[in-house]
């Protein structure tokens, strides 16, 4: 009997914790009349996307670099885009390509890059899937497993381990949304593979 009561109490704590997390995540999502019009309950709101973008730009300014940043919703539609002065078309496009890779894979774009670097996949294969094998984009996730979008950053040269487009995105997500999963390791190129460009 004591075991049954203990299990019920533990289940209640888990359920209450889940509700608390869901309520906390509401501040990141489109709610109210706008969500009724969209018939969608898990779309990242503009306020959150803009806050992530601004936080990333602040990080870039601290580093003395320029970036382009895009935030896509879970369907791949742009919610926020910003380019700093001096960013060319390729910088803008790489931010979008990295974010689309996250959209396709639901993983950091570095996972695709690491598959190419380790020889488990080729860059041509990834391109055929619509993926860009380059680090710099991360999934935006709430409640541990609800994908609500992707943030892609392009335009700055990495200075590892202190700086990269991916580090910019990670710091911005952490500042706005709280603790984030650790970044994937940086792999050296496999002797038989061609490093992504």
Secondary element (H or E) of residue 81: strand 78-83
Got the DSSP string for 91-102?
A: HHHHHHHHHHHH
CA separation for the pair 138, 147 (Å, rounded)? 11
pTM over 0.85: no
Per-residue confidence of the chain (197 residues) as pLDDT tens digits? 444 444 344 444 333 333 334 456 777 776 667 665 655 678 899 999 999 999 999 999 999 999 999 999 999 999 999 999 999 999 999 999 999 999 999 999 999 999 999 999 999 999 999 999 999 999 999 988 899 999 999 999 999 999 999 999 999 999 999 999 999 999 887 655 555 55
Question: Domain 42-177, what fold?
Answer: Beta-Lactamase (3.30.450)
């Amino acid at each position: 009997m004591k075991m049954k009561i203990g299990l019920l109490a533990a289940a209640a704590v888990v359920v209450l914790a889940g509700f608390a997390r869901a309520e906390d995540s509401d501040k990141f999502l489109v709610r109210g009349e706008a969500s009724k019009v969209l018939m969608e309950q898990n779309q990242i709101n503009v306020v959150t996307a803009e806050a992530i973008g601004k936080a990333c730009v602040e990080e870039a300014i601290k580093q003395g670099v320029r970036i382009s940043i895009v935030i896509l919703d879970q369907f791949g539609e742009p919610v926020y885009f910003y380019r700093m002065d001096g960013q060319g078309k390729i910088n803008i496009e790489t931010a979008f390509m990295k974010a689309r890779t996250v959209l396709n894979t639901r993983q950091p774009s570095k996972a695709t890059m690491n598959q190419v670097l380790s020889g488990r996949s080729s860059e041509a294969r990834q391109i055929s899937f619509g993926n860009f094998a380059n680090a710099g984009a991360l999934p935006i996730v709430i409640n541990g497993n609800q994908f609500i979008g992707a943030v892609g950053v392009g335009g700055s040269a990495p200075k590892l381990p202190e700086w990269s487009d991916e580090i910019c995105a990670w710091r911005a997500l952490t500042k706005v949304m709280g603790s984030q999963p650790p970044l994937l390791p940086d792999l050296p190129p496999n002797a038989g593979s061609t490093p992504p460009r």
